[in-house]
């Protein structure tokens, strides 16, 4: 069983020490996939200076040379990998970036090329801002050849372009719902990779304020019984001491299982 960690929102506004604070005793045990925004625009959240909340100014990642240097070091030491996390992570009146932006194709292409060049890496994973994708946004990511690592991904065929794999994947998810006694309205994280013609998708369990170690362990054990894999997703800027304790308790539980291997998130998609 493969187990991975994903952390969202590394960007120009991120001091490297904020990531070190959370992961200094984690990423030598489990590589952390840092979902990174290439051209962040200020919006209202912890970790972004208040004066930039409504500035609409674009901040390329390389305007923070300390973060660039730290990311390169963590990549080289295999403590971290990097995923593309949108383009600006901005919100629109009628939705989140990859639901409502008028040009998702350009955003994926330019954002991917920029991060690859800035960090000297080769990114293969896309994390949707706010875990939200329109049909067009999904198609843009898939055409770029990026695998999608999301939370509570929509499995409705109406939300995606059809290919020869769509119906089979829909049936796999439906069969898992039945096996676990879930209805369509019940929360579900499907524990297997769904492979489409040009990309693959995998869903994550969220560590947010209020999440308990029992909830994470229950999701982990369900995936384990199903012969699947597990990815935990969180935000460095949201991690409190209580949430960090939950994270460590979960890692300790998984580490005690002799069939578990901690991997970089990209390896979840390997055959």
Per-residue pLDDT of 46-97, as tens digits, reads 778 888 887 778 999 999 999 999 999 999 999 999 999 999 999 899 999 9
- Mean pLDDT over 16-31 rounds to 98
Residues 6+ positions from 181 with CB-CB distance below 8 Å: none
Buried b (16+ CB within 10 A) or exposed e, 149-164: bbbebebeeeebeeee
Per-residue pLDDT of 97-137, as tens digits, reads 999 999 999 999 999 999 999 999 999 999 999 999 999 99
Task: Answer for the pair 267, 4: CB distance below 8 angstroms, yes or no.
Answer: yes
- Mean pLDDT over 11-36 rounds to 97
- Mean pLDDT over 24-31 rounds to 98
Task: Answer for the pair 111, 87: CB distance below 8 angstroms, yes or no.
Answer: yes
Q: DSSP of 120-179, one letter per residue?
A: T----EE--GGG---HHHHHHHHHTT-EEEESS----GGGS---TTHHHHHHHHHHHHHH
Helix (H) or strand (E) holding 95: strand 95-96
Residue ranges covered by each domain of the chain? 2-269
Q: Is 95 left (phi over 0), alpha (psi -120 to 50) or beta?
A: left
Per-residue pLDDT of 139-197, as tens digits, reads 999 999 999 999 866 666 677 888 889 889 999 999 999 999 998 788 889 999 999 99
pLDDT of residue 120: 97
pLDDT of residue 149: 96
pTM: 0.95
Token pair recorded at residue 243: 């949430």
pLDDT of residue 229: 98
What's the rounded Cα separation, in Å, for the pair 80 and 33?
6
204 or 53: which leads in pLDDT? 204
The CATH class, in words, for 2-269 is alpha beta
pLDDT of residue 152: 66
């Amino acid at each position: 069983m493969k187990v991975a960690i994903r952390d969202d929102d590394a960007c120009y506004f991120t001091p490297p020490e904020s990531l070190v604070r959370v992961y200094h005793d984690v990423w030598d045990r489990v590589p952390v996939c840092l979902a990174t925004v290439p051209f962040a625009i200020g919006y209202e959240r912890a970790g972004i200076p208040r004066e930039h909340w409504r500035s609409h100014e674009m901040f390329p990642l390389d305007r923070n040379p300390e973060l660039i240097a730290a990311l390169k070091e963590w990549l080289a030491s295999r403590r971290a990998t990097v995923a593309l996390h949108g383009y600006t992570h901005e919100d629109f009146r009628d939705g989140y970036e990859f639901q409502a932006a008028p040009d998702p194709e350009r955003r994926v292409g330019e954002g991917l090329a920029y991060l690859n060049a800035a960090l000297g890496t080769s990114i293969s994973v896309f994390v949707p801002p706010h875990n939200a994708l329109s049909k067009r946004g999904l198609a843009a990511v898939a055409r770029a050849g990026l695998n999608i690592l999301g939370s509570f991904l929509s499995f409705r065929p109406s939300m995606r372009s059809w290919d020869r794999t769509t119906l089979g994947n829909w049936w796999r998810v439906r069969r898992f719902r039945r096996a676990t006694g879930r209805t369509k309205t019940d929360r579900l994280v499907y524990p297997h990779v769904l492979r489409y013609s040009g990309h693959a998708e995998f869903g994550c369990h969220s560590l947010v304020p209020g999440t308990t170690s029992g909830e994470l362990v229950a999701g982990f054990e369900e995936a384990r019984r199903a012969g699947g894999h597990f990815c935990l997703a969180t935000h460095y800027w949201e991690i409190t001491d209580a949430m960090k304790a939950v994270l460590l308790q979960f890692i300790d539980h998984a580490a005690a299982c002799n069939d578990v291997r901690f991997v970089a998130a990209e390896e979840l998609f390997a055959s």
